[in-house]
Amino acid sequence: MIVLDTGLLAELVRGPRADPAVLAWVRNLAEQPVSTVVNRAELLAGIAMLPDGNRRTALTTAVEDALADLAVCLPFSTDCTIVYARMVAARAATDRPLTTRTAMVAAIASVNGAALATTDPAAYDGLPVGEPPPPRGGAGPRRGGGGGPGPPPPGRGQAGGTRRCMTQSNCPLGRS
């Protein structure tokens, strides 16, 4: 099972404007990816903060379509609360605190034995989440310096082009 983080889901929501390589990567996964209640809540909250109008309506439709294409939406269960608490405590002890959302997504993935495809591998560093297997016909995982994939192509990603993907070498957000 592969959980897509909010960053990857947001890319899928872009529809025809989405990065074609990201779309191809997701389409070529050997199994249908899933989301979590946290990812869905983040996307829907972003839309709820927009003023009424055409953009909000279009994004609502795009999010609903993208989420409908996923296998399931994993819940935050009682078991997740225990794992969440342990993750938060462990990271606080290392002076690298977790955001609530990151810890919740990691706990959901961990409890469900799921791999996590993310645009922010540093946020999940050291947490017990699996790495997705390569898509059909894809290469195996690639590790760059520091245990993660290299940076994305110039001009890609968020603030300062730091967007990355904790997945395999053919994930376009992880190419250097």
Q: What's the domain range around 40?
A: 2-76+114-174
DSSP structure class, residue 121: G
Q: Render pLDDT for 127-160 as a digit per residue (tens, 0 to 9).
A: 877 666 555 555 432 222 223 332 222 223 333 2
Q: Crossing angle for the helix pair 37-48 and 6-13, nearest 10 degrees?
A: 50
Q: What is the pTM of this model?
A: 0.72
- What is the token pair recorded at 5? 């983080």
Structural domains counted in the chain: 1
Q: What residues of the chain score a pLDDT lower than 50?
A: 139-176
Q: State residue 131's pLDDT score.
A: 65
Are 141 and 131 in contact, with CB atoms under 8 Å apart? yes
- Is 152 domain-assigned? yes
- Is 104 domain-assigned? no
- Name the average pLDDT for the chain: 75
Tally of helices (H runs) and strands (E runs) in the chain: 6, 4
- Is 154 domain-assigned? yes
- Is 44 domain-assigned? yes
> How far is Cα of residue 42 from the mean position of the Cα atoms in its chain?
12
